[in-house]
Structure 1
Amino acid sequence: MTRGEGLARWFERRAIAVLGVATALVLAVLFYYPVLTVFADAVRLGGAWNFEVAREVLTDPFYFGVFAPLFDGDLTAVSEIAADQPLGLVGFTAYQALLSTIASVALGLPGAYVLARYEFPGRRTIRSLTILPFVLPSIMVAIGFYAFFGANGPVNDLLAALGVGRLSMLGTLEAIVVAHAFYNAPLVTRVTTAAWESVDARMVETARSLGANPWRAFRDVLVPQLLPAVLTGALLTFVFTFMSFPIVLALGGFQLATVEVWVFSLVQQLDYAEAATLAVVETVVSLALTYAYLTYESRQSANSRAANPPPRKRFFPSVSADAGSLIAGLERAAILAYATVAAVVFVGPIASMVVESVTGPNGLTLQYYRFLVQRQVEGASFQTLPGVAVRNSLLFGAATLLVALPMGVTVSVLTARGGRWERLADTAAMAPLAVSGVVVGLGMLRGLVFGVELFGHRVQVDGPVAIVAAHAVAAYPFVVRNVSPLLGGVDRSVVESARALGATRVRALLDVELPLVAAGVAAGAAFAFAISIGEFDSTVILATGSSSYTMPVAVERYIGNRTLGPATAMGTVLLAVTSLSFVVIDRLGGRWEV
């Protein structure tokens, strides 16, 4: 055996361990180091420890409202602060997240009921579409809300035609809450539908046989089985909306700023210490909530029951007593009313953006698209060029896929069995879900982009590399969440049989396990690419002052110039590229719905 063959055999036997170490090192450099850099910025000034900025932030009523005196030990100012600004910036962030969570649950639960209890044409397609908000760039959705609820949007046109008067919704908390519901209600619908399809209907039948009426059986038997999924969706929604950035920035601006938006503002002002302190506060809150979610999810998985869902009813039944009953008719009328509301919230903004991009003061026009073409052909290098944005987005997406997919599969392999150490590793690997892109982008800017002294040499990375790194960190947890559950469900006897026949651990993984979970791998790949295409939070920080901007950043810059027409045109291009990319990866990789 040659030396090269020996090394190859050695690597094949230890490939999983080597990949695990490599993934841990990548996470340490691309995630934990930047985040710790932000933490250090909060308490180090001029190379020395200094807690003065942190103390000023914690005791400032602007940030913590009535809780600020608690950090200062002076309770005499509580009543005065309560009358002036009781919530503070952090409190307002939690308040809008709570309202957004309530709206998302209220909008998502009826959808889960319809999908779980009724059979109708297109049901599977609609169920699959509940995943789309996760791949739609948030800045694009903000553009859609501008077009839909704006002064000259279809909502106000309809209200004016009815003589009700125009609605001024943009720049309000209501607009932010509805936009958050657009993103997170489908999440609530999806997790609750999955739970509803996994309930044990025999328990309901037993309760009915013992004399319980339908409402009592629903309340005492079915609700306890669904409540964990509802709470999971609500907790995730709160985490996501607490860290929301593009939606709040576009629809609320600095008048309705959250912690994330204010951190971005402080970074623009080069006030890194104060920005870092706020980022630490936000990260601690989101990490605590994410840990609670992962712990709760683990407990529910351990207590899961065998699925025996009740049969679904036909929404359009043949002529029967059920079809003519009053209760069934009222129920279907309520469902149709809900479908109308859902269509307004989910379809209206996106359709309005597309329509707005081809509508001018005098009717249909392509002038906004011509503007994009002219900007690309004639624009100066310091301007935002659409072609450069599209090229960068596609290149960054492909590079992100190459990094995030192996990382996600490796973490899935190492954590799929669900033991104590595996759960600990899973929690550490899922930390990027709880840390906002603004924090990661700020950490990379302050650390990797500005440069690090290492063994007497200054090590720096350029903007594109940092952007790909930030995108990979944001994307790979979604690969894990798609692949890990399927790997955990693979029959271990099949893998053991392959090992007994002489296959190494990595060969069994490549030839047996991954083919069995190909749908999850394809789903993870689609998510990774689409998330990179739409990532805005870290990109807007790392692309400042460079030509590394992407399509979402280009859309935001056009909004910033108050040129809604070109912004909607760029948003439509972003929608087309995102959808096409997702479909291509879906077709190449197989079914992505799991």
Structure 2
Amino acid sequence: MTRSRPGIGLVTGVGRPRITTAGLGLALLGAIPLVFLVIFFGWPLVALFDRAAGTGDGAGILTLWRRSGAGPLLVFTLAQAAASTVLTLIVAAPITWLVARVRFPGSRLFLVVVTLPFVLPSVVVGMAFRAVFTGPLSFLPAALGGALDEAGPSLVPVLCAHVFLNVAVVVRVVAAAWSGLDPRLEQAAQVSGAGPVRAFTTVTLPRLLPAIAAAAALVFLFCTTSYGVIMVLGNGQLHTVETAIYTEGVGSFHLPEAAALSVLQIGVVVATLAVVRLLSRRVPGNRAIEQSPIPVRGWTRIAGVLTALWAALWLVVPLVVLALWSVRPAGPGSWTLAGYRALGAEVNGMTPLASAAMSLRTAVVAAVLAVVFGLAAAIVVARLRGPLREVGELIATIPLGVSAVTLGFGYTLVFAGWPSALANSWWVIAAVQALVAVPLVIRIAVPALEQVPAGLTTAAATLGARPLRVFSTVELPLVRRSFAVAAGFAFILSLGEFGATSFLARVDTTTLPVMIGTALNRPGEANLAAAMACSMVLVVVTAVAVGIVEAVRPNAGALL
């Protein structure tokens, strides 16, 4: 049911519309995140477009794309994203059924297991599947893309890593829609003689198609902008548009070509994001995952156990292998804690423990910034109606339209020639990480604000309470747990951010994900052991944080 809220402060009469005090306050509140967005998002993008258009040799953007091999890069980027999306839908299908339709002991813990891969740093996921395909699955021939060696490509590990990362997207989006469907239609079909499979395919599945399509579009978007996974598992032989931006800009210092690739990446991602928004409008509202009380007995028990094993195979085994390989990096029979002892040793001028402290510092500050700006935007969006609501939601989700690597390269152009104390400050890293987390904060906060009964806020306003007091005394107590969840996920995402941070980090501001990438680029078993130990530290911290967030979460609703 659509709720009625006070408008944006427009009072109409015989004359021209007047902007009320509440409307002016709302506009000023919206200006806060808007200024942040313009500075930390718009500025680097303008620098990118300017660099791509104003090359020193007069080459146009088409020439720059030809120089950088943009055509084959784009084809491979889209192809691997499409393949990853199809595989993710297949793997997630039974897990989605279990979450949406079966109530079982430990269901919330199961959701933690499903969610954890999505919020893990991509470089850690790359390390996990590097351990899997150089360990238990090292027997796969290079012809199948399974061997991580110099002989051939490693596409299969990349696809598996993308599945691992994105199963939660499908489960959260589709399960939320599935649990909100009226089961009586499917039951009526079965009473009329249709079997369970036919009833599902003819009644339930058509109603789930919008949610499935929206989830698939999101997975495709995330796989298109995949960076850490390709960098770790690509073995220097697999390149997407995302990794080529880094290679051209940092590795070869071909700034015009990197800028032109960034423009291409922006176009691809914005087009994908437009499809996501279009499909999302057809998906039922963000509802709690209220699992149908199907009795857990007979075939349901067997199917549930098999599904749990299927989920463990894809989502738990890679992390278990990573944990084992962190204490035996040279293979069987070489048990050692050298990697963990190396946490106090310098890697490229900074110890992993110091990098962990830097990661925590930037993540905490980024979470605070993301909550401040994200909640300001969420309050404005929740109160807008009509076309203004559409504009507000579009502006709020704009940061999703550009990859972190593109932003990171844009910042290198912006800060060129700036004083080192400012350009290399860890505050800049925290601000960029906050920008990446703001859309998620808004995505969690807006539905929470809209669930506050309108009668309560209207009554408080009628009694003379100002908007700030209404928010602090009526709305905030009701949605504080959702706000805490938003802050928790902002911290988790900032802790593992790798794409933009890899461009901005310096020796004394290296975060733990960047430290892992640095260790991997250095030869020797000791550096590999240190990278795996650092990865396990991030896995443990992230798992604890996700567990706390799920415990605080008011319901098990969709994250995305």
TM value normalised by structure 2: 0.86
Provide the residue aligned with 2:147 in structure 1: 168
Matched, 1:273 2:237: no
Could you say if the C-alpha distance between residues 146 and 213 of structure 1 is closer, same or farther in structure 2, counting changes exceeding 3 Å? closer
2:147 match: secondary structure: coil
- 1:388-412 deviation line (CA, Å, top 9, x unaligned): 2112101101110121101111111
Structure 1: 5+ residue stretches without partners: 1-9, 65-87, 318-322, 453-457
Cα RMSD after superposing both structures: 3.0
Equivalent position of 1:487 in the other structure: 449
1:401 to 367, 370, 381: 367
Report the equivalent of 1:294. Answer: 277
Match of 1:38 in 2: 48
Mapped pair 1:52 → 2:36: no
Task: List per-residue Cα deviations over 1:442-480 (Å, max 9, x = no partner).
Answer: 11121145449xxxxx99543312211210110111111
1:481 Cα deviation after fit: 0.8
1:438 equivalent in alignment to 2:405: yes
Native 8 Å contact 2:365 2:430 kept in 1: yes
**Contact 1:201–1:309, Cα closer than 8 Å, also in 2:** no
Indicate if the aligned counterparts of 2:481 and 2:553 stay in contact, CA closer than 8 A. yes
Greater radius of gyration (CA)? 1
Question: Cα deviation per residue 1:242-292 (whole Å; 9 max; x = unaligned)?
Answer: 010000110013311100000000111221111111111111111121122
Shift of 1:154: 3.1
Whole-angstrom CA distance in 1 between matches of 2:425 and 2:189: 62
Q: Is it true that 1:254 corresponds to 2:254 in the alignment?
A: no
Identity of aligned residues (%): 30
Q: Spell out, residue by residue over 1:528-556, the C-alpha distance to the aligned partner (whole angstroms, 9 max, x if none).
A: 1111110000011111x432110000011
The 1:117/1:51 distance shift into structure 2, 3 A limit, reads farther
Question: Residues 466 and 449 (structure 1 numbering): CA distance in 2 closer, same or farther, change over 3 Å?
Answer: farther
- Indicate how the Cα distance of structure 1 residues 450 and 467 shifts in structure 2: closer, same or farther if over 3 A, else same: farther
Give the equivalent residue in structure 2 for 1:413: 379
CA distance in 2, matches of 1:546, 1:231: 43
Mapped to 2, the partners of 1:337 and 1:557 lie a distance apart of 40
Residue 184 of structure 2 is matched in structure 1 by 202
> What secondary structure, in the 3-state scheme, does the structure 2 residue paired with 1:312 have?
coil
Pick the aligned partner of 1:110 from 62, 70, 94: 94
Amino acid in structure 1 at the alignment position of 2:59: E
Aligned residues of 1:199 and 1:305 also touching (Cα < 8 A) = no
Distance in 2, matches of 1:437 and 1:387, equals 25
CA 511–62 in structure 1, closer or farther in 2 if over 3 Å, else same: same
1:559 corresponds to 2:559: no
- Quote the Cα distance in structure 2 between the aligned partners of 1:403 and 1:515: 21
AA matched with 2:408: G
Alignment of structure 1 residues 191-590 onto 2, 5 Å: 191-268=173-250, 269-301=252-284, 311-315=292-296, 317=297, 323=298, 328=299, 336-359=305-328, 362-373=333-344, 375-376=345-346, 382-417=348-383, 419-448=386-415, 450-451=417-418, 461-543=423-505, 545-562=506-523, 563-582=527-546
1:300-344 CA-to-partner distances (Å, cap 9, x unmatched) read: 34xx699998943233x2xxxxx3xxxx3xx76565444434322
Determine the C-alpha separation between the residues in 1 that align with 2:409 and 2:191.
61
- Judge which range, 97-106 or 115-124, deviates more: 115-124
Residues 13 and 506, structure 1, Cα contact 8 Å, conserved in 2: no
Write the letter of the residue equivalent to 1:438.
Answer: V
- Which residue does the alignment assign to 2:121? 137
Aligned to 1:119: 103
| Alpha-carbon distance, 1:497 to partner | 0.8
- Shift of residue 18 of structure 1? 2.4
Say if 1:338 and 1:28 are closer, same or farther in 2 by CA, change over 3 A.
Answer: same
Cα offset, 1:52, TM superposition: 1.8
- Residue in 1 aligned with 2:4? none
Q: Which amino acid aligns with 1:192?
A: V
Distance 1:214 1:390, change over 3 A: closer
| Cα drift, residue 510 of structure 1 | 1.8
| Matches of 1:209 and 1:591, distance apart in 2 | 36
1:166 and 1:232 mapped to 2: Cα distance? 29
CA contact (8 A) 1:520 1:592 kept: no
CA distance in structure 1 between the partners assigned to 2:362 and 2:291 by the alignment: 45
Check 1:305–1:216 CA distance in 2 against 1; reply closer, same or farther (3 A cut): farther
When residues 272 and 141 of structure 1 are mapped into structure 2, their CA distance, relative to the original with a 3 A threshold, is same
**Counterpart contact for 1:38–1:443, Cα < 8 Å:** yes
- Structure 2: which amino acid aligns with 1:45? T
- Higher relative contact order, structure no. (Cα contacts within 8 Å, ≥ 6 residues apart): 2
Question: Which whole-Å deviations, capped at 9, do the CAs of 1:69-100 have from their partners, x for residues lacking one?
Answer: xxxxxxxxxxxxxxxxxxx1101000000000
Q: Gapped runs of 5+ residues in structure 2?
A: 1-19
CA deviation after TM superposition for structure 1 residue 582, in Å: 4.8
Q: Could you say what secondary structure the match of 2:253 adopts? A: coil
C-alpha change, 1:579 and 1:25, in structure 2 (3 Å) is same
Number of residues of Structure 1 aligned to a counterpart in Structure 2: 526
Q: Which moved more, 1:266-275 or 1:206-215?
A: 206-215
